[in-house]
Amino acid sequence: MAIGFDFGTANCSVARIVDEQVRVIPLSENDVYLPSTLSAPNAETVSEYLFKCLNIKPANTIGESVLRRAIKINHEEGLNVRHDDVHFGQSALDLYLDDPKYVYYVQSPKSFLGTQGLRDVQLSYFEDLICAMMANVKQQVEKQLDNAVSDVVIGRPVNFHGRGGEKSNIQAEGILRSAARRVGFKNIEFQFEPVAAGFEYESTLTADKTVLVVDIGGGTSDCSLINMGPSWQGKANRTDSLLSHSGLSVGGNDLDIAIAFKKFMSEFGLGTEQLSGLPVPISQFWNCVAINDVIAQRDFYTLENLKQLLDLTKNAKQPEKIRRLSYLHKGTLGHSVVREAELAKIALGKQEQYVSSLNLLEDTVELNLLKEQMADAISEPVRKITRMIKEAEQQGQTKPDVVYMTGGSARSPILRAAIKSVLPNTEIVSGSYFGSVTAGLSRWADVCFK
């Protein structure tokens, strides 16, 4: 049995083809979208959970070392790892929001893939995170279908991480492939996410067209320029129809982070001065909200940095603001702040203003945001996305007949207007913002594994 698996930055979803129709498979009660989140008592729980509760062995000797260390730490802390210690999706988010200080929480581990400069031990740990989430999805799918699933097409962005180039892509796909094998998938294929979304749009066409697929997801944005239509449907070799691809590691998360940094951090002291007249270091305000940058997050949440924050508070001209950074650090609240920025982004896509409320446990901050302020905050990510679209068109040396937009952030009126400015005379259409990639992956799985 073959499935298409969208292991997304924001959500995971799975579908298969039944009688030539796409059937999306519920992953949590009746919900077909499972947030890409995980929570546990501590970081070490994940590796021991895989081995002890799911009987999933480490991939190599480095993984074995990570497992031994995890078991040792958990034993020293008196933690007897059980199956219900690891939570996924909305359950994981609810636990984190209820008690962020004492819950280990990971959001969007896919956004870490491709990061360069990490040690092998760190990469092995990331693979365990991916493995745990994939195992949960596979279990839910097989429970729904009452059948084992061995064949899978997994979606991937054109580029996982901008700084590492193809080296990052090889590392990221390798981690995904290894994790998929460990959870029991036997035949594994990958497909670019915008190409998969294009396959879903192609199923609706009655005439051949050249289509620019723009997929703006949670962690990446991708374009594929594709010849598609009845002449191409169902063909296993699509090489001649794929005209160009472009992609960058900018997506919905980056828009949320930009809003949090530019519009929220002034209430934490961004732009203020120390008593010496020197500005408070910008890195403190960026690192705390850069939830898709593992190095920035590591630097912010060290004990040494907490000491620096306390010193900055003592020597600040506006200590009441800088003190909020310490609250954020102590409560591990970076994800909460960015989550509120995401809610503001969604609301301001439909209305002119929105009041954000930041609960810092020891303080509450309210901010009134206007739509034009959000547009200003996300102007740089939007500029990068428009440049990516121009690049795909130039590489393909062909004007598209239509632009097909997909991905959660493709709903943004600001992004749609930006794309219209690049291709003013081209029709822009959209299908399922969240489901087209999954549907297209299932269509490609049906072709691949016939």
> What contacts 434, CB < 8 A, 6 or more positions away?
11, 13, 33, 407, 408
- Please give the average pLDDT of every successive group of 10 residues along the chain, which has 450 residues: 93 95 91 95 96 96 96 96 95 87 87 86 95 97 96 95 81 96 97 96 96 92 96 93 93 93 96 95 96 88 95 96 95 93 92 94 91 93 93 92 92 89 93 91 94
Tell me if 58 sits within 8 A of 64, measured CB to CB: yes
Q: How far is it, in rounded angstroms, from Cα 196 to Cα 441?
A: 5
**63 Ramachandran zone, left/alpha/beta (phi>0; psi -120 to 50):** alpha
- Per-residue pLDDT reduced to its tens digit, 310-345: 999 999 999 999 999 999 999 999 999 999 999 999
Tell me if 47 sits within 8 A of 106, measured CB to CB: no
What string of DSSP letters covers 257-317? HHHIIIIIGGGGTTT-BBTTSPBPPHHHHHHTT-TT-HHHHHHHTSHHHHHHHHHHHHTBS
- Per-residue pLDDT reduced to its tens digit, 66-120: 999 999 999 999 999 999 999 999 999 899 888 887 889 998 888 888 888 889 9
Cα-based distances in Å from 439 to 24, 237, 291:
8, 19, 29
> What contacts 159, CB < 8 A, 6 or more positions away?
114, 165, 168, 169, 220, 222, 247, 248, 249
Q: Which CATH superfamily is domain 2-193 in?
A: ATPase, nucleotide binding domain (3.30.420.40)
The pLDDT assigned to 162 comes to 60
Tell me if 159 sits within 8 A of 249, measured CB to CB: yes
Q: How far is it, in rounded angstroms, from Cα 303 to Cα 326?
A: 11
